[in-house]
Amino acid sequence: MPALRRTAVVLLLALFGWKAASVSDNFSTTADEIAHLVSGYSYWTNNAYTLQPENGNLPQRWATLPLLAMKPNFPPADDPAVRGGDMWHAGYDFFYGLGNTPDLMLAAGRAMIALLGVALVALIFAWSRALFGWAGGWVSLGLAAFCPVLLAHAGLATSDLAAALGFTAALLTWWRLLHRVSPGRVLAAGGALGFLAVAKFSCVLFAPMAVILAVARLLRRTPLPVAFGAWRARLAGWRRAAALVGGGLAAAALAVAVIWAFYGFRYAAAPEGGEFIRAWDDVLITKPHAVAIDMADRVPSSETVPLAPGVVQKFVAWGRAHQVLPEAWLYGLAFVDRAGRLRMAYFAGEYRLTGWWEFFPTAFLLKTTLPALGLLLLAAFVPLWGPRSGGGRLAWRLLPLLTLLAVYWPFALTSPLNIGHRHLLPTYPALYILLGVVGWAAVRARRWKRRLVEIIVTLLVWHAVESLRARPYYLASFNELAGDPDTAHRHFIDSSLDWGQDLPGLRRWLDANARGEKLFISYFGSGDPLFEGIRATRVADNYFDLRPHQALPPLTGGVWCLSATMFERAYTAVRGPWSDAYEAEYQRLTAWLHHLNQQPKEAPPTDTDGTPMTREQLEKNLFNLEHLRFGRLCHFLRLRQPDAVIGHAILVFRLQDAEVNFALAAPRPELEAVAAMQGKF
């Protein structure tokens, strides 16, 4: 029986790894993956760390290990994008401009992250089994092995899965160190903390967790075993505190050594010059100022965010002065803090720079499977039907998991970084381990034992079925509370739904349904539609189109393919409802364009009143008008059913010339009336 159990565990772990890695062929690169892969390869081959320093050195190195054997062509070290820290242009060249095989590079990088996913699921099972025995271990393993959230990010070459593994491992090894100080446990805690520190900069949240757990351990007056070689002791009183401080400092020192190792034991980010994508003064906020984002309507933003240096900036400035940590690590920490102060985000039809406290709770409720939520509800009632003995000891053993949730969730609730449910990923392992308690309690229950076991098994099977139904669209999966998954963009976009991954699915649909038709696309992501065989006019996706972008391309009827993120216009200059101010600016710029087209081609551009225009003013007008046209079209389409939805993330509309002309030229009252009528049929 033990051999059979172990075989079943191995098979479930292998199944998880296969499910995560095997969907790669279905998807193009998500928005961040080219940045991770070009940066990781640069770390290995150039020993330079100016590319993407803010997203974890370790996962980027790990994902690009197979590329060292593949030896793809790489931009030269003196390439302006490489030297300037511009991972987007460098990544675009790496994938699409140098004759490499993007699909193979992407699949190899994703497979490496899938291995980290297997390690995480194994750790979830092992911790749960240690707490709750085999019954609890099976519950936790079943939840983790079929979790669409974990599968989604275990199948992407990004840093989120590595961060979840880092938090879980660091928490466990630190907790074990607090109960026995020995060289082995110091090494384990230091190594795990170092892993977390080079996985993602959310690692700073581990500091309060570690302090809370250390204080709790000191308040518990049981002796502390200490072992060094043949010497053994059980310490009490102040000696316990001294031993824990000593062990903690040793683990921290080892973690610092791990950080230095991943940056080549060199302070400078690049061996021969090189710059970060943003200046140091920007990420350190050396000049306090307020930030607002104005839209194409030219109405001053009502949402202004003051920026001033905080604790992170002061620590990083001190760290730079004394070179206590590698330059790139310090820069990454400051960059993440600066970027996290404000971020344009979308949630349920609203747009903000500073986020919503409801964002992550809603994302959790809608993207966690219903049976997993059911097990969570069941776990809340364990005290009513579970065994009545051993509760206090069990509560103590659960303290590190509860501490992670108690620290991480308040941070998430107050964070402006509301761009993706993935930022909750570190909480899922702790939750799934905790839910092992229902298995432990059910097999020990005095009443309803058989019924409880049946309920738990039913919920786990349902969870597995939901996972299989979501395949391969794990990233875009939502539970039944969200309604029709093809309308999930009404709630969430970006990395919660549409991260740019569905170009291959779009190509397959176009090949089957729209051969020879004129195509338009507004695409969010770092993939290349042309590389995927999609020859389309790109509209209003200037931020993501790294090819030469045609300003104000002619818009006609055809097949319009709109990423959900672009359809909701989160990353355009026209956000929110179509307003009087948008309409007025649209009419003004339309008249200006007519005026411009009447001028001789060799004449310098002027405004409608004859005032000469600078090149910057001309480009700004063209940019705003392109986005206003797109915003007006999306407003026209907002209540219309798309002709197809690809992977729940790309909306396809087949439009006639008359419809496009009406959307762009009709008087606003008529536009509103027709748009409203479309929603009724």
**104 occurs within a structural domain:** yes
Same domain, 396 and 539: no
Q: What is the DSSP letter of 48?
A: -
Asked if the model's pLDDT at residue 335 lies above 80, the reply is yes
Structural domains of the chain, count? 2
Q: Is residue 436 part of a domain?
A: yes
DSSP letter, residue 606: B
Residues 585 and 465 in one domain: no
Are 466 and 506 part of one and the same domain?
A: no
**Cα(11)–Cα(117) distance, rounded to whole angstroms?**
14
How many whole angstroms separate alpha carbon 550 and alpha carbon 449? Answer: 67
Q: Average pLDDT of the chain?
A: 94
How many angstroms separate the CA atoms of 296 and 202, rounded?
Answer: 34
Q: Is residue 328 one of the residues assigned to a domain?
A: no
Q: Looking at the structure, do residues 58 and 154 belong to the same domain, yes or no?
A: yes
| b/e per residue 658-667 (b: at least 16 CB within 10 A) | ebbeebbebe
**What is the structure's pLDDT at 673?**
83
Residues 456 and 525 in one domain: no
What pLDDT, on a 0 to 100 scale, did the predictor assign at position 678? 66
Q: Is residue 478 part of a domain?
A: no
515 and 581 share one domain: yes
Final residue of a domain: which of 428, 449, 470? 470
Query: Phi and psi of 48, rounded to 5°?
Result: -125, 145
Report residue 449's pLDDT band, with 50, 70 and 90 as the boundaries.
Answer: confident
Question: Per-residue confidence at 681, pLDDT binned at 50, 70, 90?
Answer: very low
- Taking only the tens place, the pLDDT of each residue in 465-489 is 999 999 999 999 999 999 999 999 9
% of the chain exceeding 90 in pLDDT: 83
Residue 469: per-residue pLDDT: 96
10 Å CB burial of residue 542 (0-12, 13-18, 19+) is middle
Q: Is residue 394 very low, low, confident or very high in pLDDT (cuts 50, 70, 90)?
A: confident
Residue 365 domain flag: yes
pLDDT interval class at 444 (50, 70, 90): confident
Determine, yes or no, domain membership for 128: yes
Q: Which of 470, 493, 515 is the last residue of a domain?
A: 470
Residue 680: per-residue pLDDT: 43
What average pLDDT does this structure show over 384-388?
72
Same domain, 449 and 553: no
pLDDT digits (tens, 9 = 90+) for 348-381: 999 999 999 999 999 999 999 999 999 999 999 8
Nearest-angstrom CA–CA distance, 52 and 60: 9
Q: Is the pLDDT of residue 454 over 70?
A: yes
**pLDDT given for residue 390 in this prediction:** 64
| SS3 sequence of 518-581 | CEEEECCCCCCCCCCCCCCEECCCCCCCCCCCCCCCCCCCEEEEEEHHHHCCCCCCCCCCCCHH
- From the list 638, 672, 470, 633, the residue with the least C-alpha distance to 555 is 633
At 415, list the tokens.
Answer: 């964070």
The number of helices, as runs of H, and strands, as runs of E, in the chain is: 29, 11
CB-hemisphere CA count at 13 Å for 558? 18
Under the banding of pLDDT at 50, 70 and 90, the label for residue 3 is confident
What distance in Å separates the CA atoms of residue 602 and residue 348, rounded to the nearest whole number? 48
> CB of 145 within 8 A of CB of 16?
yes
Boundaries of domain holding 534: 502-678
- The β-bridge relationship of strands 350-352 and 519-522 is unpaired
DSSP 185-253: HHHHHHHHHHHHHTT-GGGGGHHHHHHHHHHHHHHS-S-EEEEETTEEEEE-THHHHHHHHHHHHHHHH
Determine contact, residues 506/643, Cβ cutoff 8 Å: no
Taking alpha carbons only, the member of 324, 301, 325 closest to residue 575 is 301
Q: What is the dihedral of CA 289, 293, 297, 301, to 10 degrees?
A: -60
In this prediction, residue 46 carries a pLDDT of: 92
Q: What is the rounded average pLDDT of the residues 419-448?
A: 92
| 195, pLDDT greater than 90 | yes
Is residue 553 domain-shared with residue 652, that is, in the same domain?
Answer: yes
Instruction: Point out which residues pair with 653 in neighbouring strands.
Output: 560
For residues 588 and 520, state if they share a domain. yes
Widest Cα–Cα separation across the chain? 92
The reply to whether 139 and 82 lie within a common domain is yes
- 391 shares its domain with 537: no
Asked if residues 158 and 59 have their Cβ atoms less than 8 Å apart, the reply is: yes
Residues 6+ apart with CB under 8 A from 415: 340, 355, 360, 423
Neighbours of 468 (CB within 10 A): 10
Q: Is the pTM of this model over 0.75?
A: yes
**Assigned token pair, 475:** 């990233």
Task: Report the pLDDT averaged over residues 2-25.
Answer: 94
Dihedral pair phi/psi, residue 482, rounded to 5°: -80, -10
Q: Is residue 548 part of a domain?
A: yes
pLDDT of residue 606: 87
Q: What is the mean pLDDT of residues 160-183?
A: 97
pLDDT in tens, 65-105: 999 999 999 999 889 999 999 999 999 999 999 999 999 99
> Does residue 108 belong to any structural domain of this protein?
yes
d(CA 27, CA 506): 10
Q: Which two tokens stand for residue 444?
A: 């020990």
458 and 529 assigned to the same domain? no
Compute the average pLDDT of residues 176-186: 97
